[in-house]
Amino acid sequence: MQEGSQNIVVLEHVYKEFVLSKTVTAKVLHDINLTIREGELVAIVGPSGSGKSTLMNVIGCLDTPTSGTYHFGTHDVGVLDDNALAELRSTDISFIFQSFHLLQGKTVFQNVMLPLQYQQGFAGSYKERVEEALTSAALPRDHWHHRPNQLSGGQRQRVAIARALVAKPKLLLADEPTGNLDSKTGESVLDALKSLNKELGTTIVIVTHDSGVEKLVDRTITIKDGIVHE
């Protein structure tokens, strides 16, 4: 993290509830106060059902708080309409998921290019940006035109990392990025994320139940029963 860096994520008194029926409401997040600074590598750790995925969805602007405020950089997320939120996710926030979410009918190169094709106003070179992202994710060049089903799990996760990087986001959210990988492959993926954080300065938040991630990150945030503990 760079000295003098600014806050990129600021949540204040955030609650999140889900209405399950007329008489039943699930209270998932309770009075969350959380700040993440630009360039940080942070882990959000907690058991299944602790609220960590809901917290990630709020931070990633996939969901909105029931109450409280969320500022992403200079944006007050609570006042943004659906189009503005979609634009924010397209340009400033990227995701890596446990199950990769790669399109099997497209090559690695085509999968990584997709975010640029959906991004409004992108005026650069698709080829140069995709090559840069795949190189940053350390996927060998001879795999770039393979289909995802021709790759190992670790290689597919590196494709997912490249796809997340291609838009040069301010924030990268990794949801259980090692969940479908063996321990050795999982460690190599986490090392890749740490290297990207160090080399590119990308703010990365890893959401996981794996406490072994803690030794790799700048800071660990624990969530249990919807309550955050630093």
Q: What is the pLDDT of residues 38-97, one digit of tens each?
A: 999 999 999 888 999 999 999 999 999 999 999 999 999 999 999 999 989 988 999 998
**How is residue 103 written in tokens?**
């399109």
Give residue 185's pLDDT.
87
b/e per residue, 204-223, with b = 16+ CB within 10 A?
Answer: bbbbbebeebeebbeebbbb
Task: Tell me the average pLDDT across 26-33.
Answer: 96
Extents of the domains making up the chain: 7-100+168-229
Confidence of residue 2 (pLDDT cuts 50, 70, 90): low
Q: Under CATH, what is the fold of the domain 7-100+168-229?
A: Rossmann fold (3.40.50)
Q: Give every CB contact of residue 5 below 8 A, 6+ residues apart in sequence.
A: 37, 38, 39, 40
